[in-house]
Structure 1
Amino acid sequence: MLDRIIKIDKELLVFLNNLGNEHWDSFWLFITNQFNWAPVFLLVLFLIVKSFGWKRGGIIILSMIILVAFSDQFANFIKNSTERLRPNNDPEINQRLRTLIRPGSFSFMSGHATTSTFFTVYTILLLRRKYKYIYLLLLFPLLFSYSRIYLGVHFPLDIIMGITVGTILGNLYFLLYKKIDKTYFT
């Protein structure tokens, strides 16, 4: 059963990855670079300070820095525990892929998908009552995650699991925030 799922995962990646073409390559290379998302991060920081003030907002921002560090290390722990080869290093399919970058680390689960979803879910839960368009932030993890498939460096299951784990962690982190906030700020 697991072998069948992995085979489907590989074939789906090859299909999705080969939908790409040269005209879109620079766009997806731009999307996959987290530093290019700095305007979104700055907007989130601004909205947090505007909504919660400097003291409370500063604590929330600090919690977001911890969130990103934890998420990144957690994803690396899972990657190093499972040791699934990245598609660009998988001899079974790497010749069938359009690969624009060649990371050497392991694949499962996507740190891009996990961390961006974790950050976004937590941000939306924090700000959803204050800004009705905050849900547009979901475009960030969706585009950021898909870029990894386009570039041939993650399988769809890596992305799906990263988004799932990021969603769960974002909700749990928000519950922890509410408990701490209620204890110390109300």
Structure 2
Amino acid sequence: MLDGILQWDRDTFIYLNNLGEEHYDVFWSTVTKYPPWIPLFLALLILIFLKFSKREAISIVLTLLVMVVSVETVTNLVKNIVARPRPNNTEEIRAMIRVIRNPSSYSFFSGHAALSFSIMTFVVLNLRKYVPWVVLGFIWPMLFVMSRIYLGVHYPLDVFVGAIFGVLSAYLFYKLYRFLILPYLR
């Protein structure tokens, strides 16, 4: 069964990656980096400080930072334990795909997916009562993870598992914040 899933993952990756066209390469290469998203991060921080007391806002941001460090740590541990080569580093696949970036670290699971989905989910869980349209921020992680397949550096399961891990991590940290930290702030 695992072999069948991995074959599907490989075939789906090759198909999706080959949908790319050269004139979109600059867009997807830009989308995959963090700096272009800094205005979104700043807007979300401003919203947090506008909608919560200073003390609560600082606590939310600190919880978010601890979550980011935790997600990054677990992601790197799993990558090193699983040690799945990236598609761009696999000779048999490399000849069949478009490779725009060449990272050499392991592939499973996507740190970009885990971090972007954890950040956005945590922010949405905190702001959804005050700013319903904040869910539109999920455009960022969706574009972010699609860029990883386009650039030839992650399989679909890498980004899917990373996204799921990110959402679950955010939910866990949100619940920890609500039950362990928030009661002491009020």
Q: Do these two structures clear the TM 0.5 threshold for a shared fold by scoring above it?
A: yes
What's the counterpart of residue 44 of structure 1? 44
Is the CA contact (8 Å cut-off) linking 2:56 and 2:182 kept in structure 1?
no
* C-alpha displacement of 1:36: 1.2
1:162 and 2:170 matched:
no
What's the counterpart of residue 90 of structure 2? 90
* C-alpha displacement of 1:4: 1.2
What's the counterpart of residue 129 of structure 1? 129
Relative contact order, higher structure (CA 8 A, sep 6+)? 2
Aligned counterparts, 1:12-91, within 5 A: 12-91=12-91
* C-alpha displacement of 1:181: 3.6
Q: Give the Cα–Cα distance (whole angstroms) in 2 for the partners of residues 77 and 7 of structure 1.
A: 24
Residue deviations 1:101-147, cap 9 Å, x none?
Answer: 10000000000000100111110000000001011011111110110
What's the counterpart of residue 140 of structure 2? 140
What's the counterpart of residue 175 of structure 2? 175
Could you say what secondary structure the match of 2:100 adopts?
coil
CA 1:116–1:20 in 2, change beyond 3 Å: closer, same or farther?
A: same
Residue deviations 1:65-88, cap 9 Å, x none?
Answer: 211111111111110010000000
Q: Give the Cα–Cα distance (whole angstroms) in 1 for the partners of residues 105 and 28 of structure 2.
A: 20
Q: CA RMSD in A?
A: 0.9
Q: Give the Cα–Cα distance (whole angstroms) in 2 for the partners of residues 57 and 2 of structure 1.
A: 44
Q: Please list every run of 5 or more consecutive structure 1 residues that lacks an aligned counterpart in the other structure.
A: none
Is the CA contact (8 Å cut-off) linking 2:110 and 2:162 kept in structure 1?
yes
Q: Give the Cα–Cα distance (whole angstroms) in 1 for the partners of residues 10 and 69 of structure 2.
A: 30
- TM-score, normalised to structure 1, is 0.97
The ranges of structure 1 where at least 4 consecutive aligned residues each deviate by more than 2 angstroms after the TM superposition are: 180-183
* C-alpha displacement of 1:54: 2.0
